[in-house]
Amino acid sequence: MRLLPLDPLLCRHLGTNRRVQGALLACIPSRDYHLLVMPKVLVCPPDYFDVVDQKNPYMSKESIVDRAKARTQWENFCSVLQQNGCEIHTIDPVVGLEDMVFAANQVFVGEKPGYGKFVVPSRMVYPSRHREVEYFTQWFRARNFRIIDIAFAHDDFLEGHGDLLWHPDGSRIYAGYGFRSTRSAIEKFALAMSEMGIEVVPLQLIDQYCYHLDNCLCPLNDDAALLFAGAFSAESLAALHKHWKRVHLLDAQEAHHFMGNGIVLNNRYITPRMTPQLEAILRQEGLTAVIVDTSEFEKSGGSCFCMKTFFP
Ligand code: ARG
């Protein structure tokens, strides 16, 4: 057990008394956190969160966001991360950047012994989202992360941790393409990662409801992953089976309701909802579910995993 450091900004956002929060304790495994469960997490308050266009099939112009409800859900989400050992850091939201709350997409974050901490700025498909990238890049630059800029062509796109997922041991990165990130951007990204000895496994996405890889693949530990097979081309599915000792399957309903968009932390699986089938999988992998309501954010096509970035 150790006492959690508390972020004054979060206290302000949560409107909670620091002395009360100071009493918060969390069980943290004594072994070092690997990349999947880095205890520092960056989030963006949903002050200007809105659904104004249709970037993915979950979004509808008729959707009305309940801002107060979104704020309550986001605060609860942050509390759950904090209770499970995370040190919360926030980036200031920007007027007009309605999707900035989805803090997983603007940069790809990593650390490699001998190379240090780095970020790869994204090239987002939608212009309003692309404007978010500079704010996140600046945030990490100010904290001495190395910025790896990739020379993207005008039709190359790469969307951060939406499409790029670390293997928990840090040896390789799974890279989804087909709806947002493009194959050629992933090839350029793979070249940059190869210089650090990190392998990139390209995966073709074929289900528009799984437009980002983080909707259909979730590493649970070094050996096991949760995935929705219908989201991948046959060749990509075969590659996934090759890389994981245990592949646990979600069905379409589970994947389309963001149950593959969970966060593995402190032996928990933070998910917006649960089915008996998913519960059985988690039990087999020694994880317990924590349910966090993200209904307002799902109107924009994102849930738990999309709303944060872990960083070293
Ligand atoms: N409305 C956002 C978009 O379409 C949602 C992003 C969700 N993020 C994620 N990592 N899946 O870009």
144-159 pLDDT per residue, tens: 999 999 999 999 999 9
* 180 CA closest ligand 1 atom index: 12
Determine the pLDDT at residue 61: 86
Alpha carbons within 13 angstroms on the beta-carbon side of residue 80 total 26
pTM value surpassing 0.95: no
Show the tokens assigned to 201: 């496994």
* 301 CA closest ligand 1 atom index: 5
Alpha carbons within 13 angstroms on the beta-carbon side of residue 117 total 14
Q: Report the nearest-CA residue for atom 1 of ligand 1.
A: 300
* 51 CA closest ligand 1 atom index: 1
CB 130 within 8 A of CB 156: no
- Helix (H, G, I), strand (E, B), or coil: what is residue 222? coil
Determine the pLDDT at residue 10: 43
* 161 CA closest ligand 1 atom index: 10
Ligand 1 centroid, distance to 58 Cα (angstroms): 10
Pair type for strands 268-271 and 263-265: antiparallel
Q: Report the nearest-CA residue for atom 7 of ligand 1.
A: 302
How are strands ordered across the β-sheet holding 309-311? 87-90, 40-43, 309-311
Cα 106 to Cα 132: distance, rounded to the nearest angstrom: 6
Selection from 308, 300, 306 nearest residue 66 by Cα: 300
* 126 CA closest ligand 1 atom index: 12
CB 97 within 8 A of CB 132: yes
Q: What percent of the chain has pLDDT over 70?
A: 88
Determine the pLDDT at residue 100: 98
* 162 CA closest ligand 1 atom index: 10
The answer, yes or no, to whether residue 295 has pLDDT greater than 60, is yes
Determine the pLDDT at residue 45: 98
Which one of 43, 53, 56 would you pick to mutate in the ligand 1 pocket, going by the greatest count of ligand atoms within 8 A of its CB? 56
Q: What DSSP designation does 7 have?
A: -
Determine the pLDDT at residue 30: 33
pLDDT in tens, 40-84: 999 999 999 999 999 999 999 899 999 999 999 999 999 999 999
The answer, yes or no, to whether residue 29 has pLDDT greater than 70, is no
Ligand 1 centroid, distance to 132 Cα (angstroms): 12
Determine the pLDDT at residue 282: 98
Determine the pLDDT at residue 28: 34
The answer, yes or no, to whether residue 92 has pLDDT greater than 50, is yes
Cα 125 to Cα 105: distance, rounded to the nearest angstrom: 11
Determine the pLDDT at residue 21: 36
Q: Report the nearest-CA residue for atom 8 of ligand 1.
A: 306
Paired residues of 291 in beta bridges: 271
List CB contacts of 127: < 8 A, sequence separation 6 or more: none
Sign of the CA dihedral 237, 218, 251, 213?
A: negative
Binning the chain into helix, strand and coil, the percentages to the nearest 5 are 35, 20, 45
Ligand 1 centroid, distance to 257 Cα (angstroms): 14
Cα 36 to Cα 270: distance, rounded to the nearest angstrom: 13
Cα 184 to Cα 135: distance, rounded to the nearest angstrom: 25
The answer, yes or no, to whether residue 221 has pLDDT greater than 90, is yes
Residue-averaged pLDDT of the chain: 90
Q: What percent of the chain has pLDDT over 90?
A: 87
Question: Domain 22-311 adopts which CATH fold?
Answer: L-arginine/glycine Amidinotransferase; Chain A (3.75.10)
Q: Which residues sit with their C-beta closer than 6 Å to ligand 1?
A: 55-56, 99, 102, 104-105, 129, 162, 212, 214-215, 300-302, 306
Cα 306 to Cα 207: distance, rounded to the nearest angstrom: 18
CA 154 to chain centroid: 25
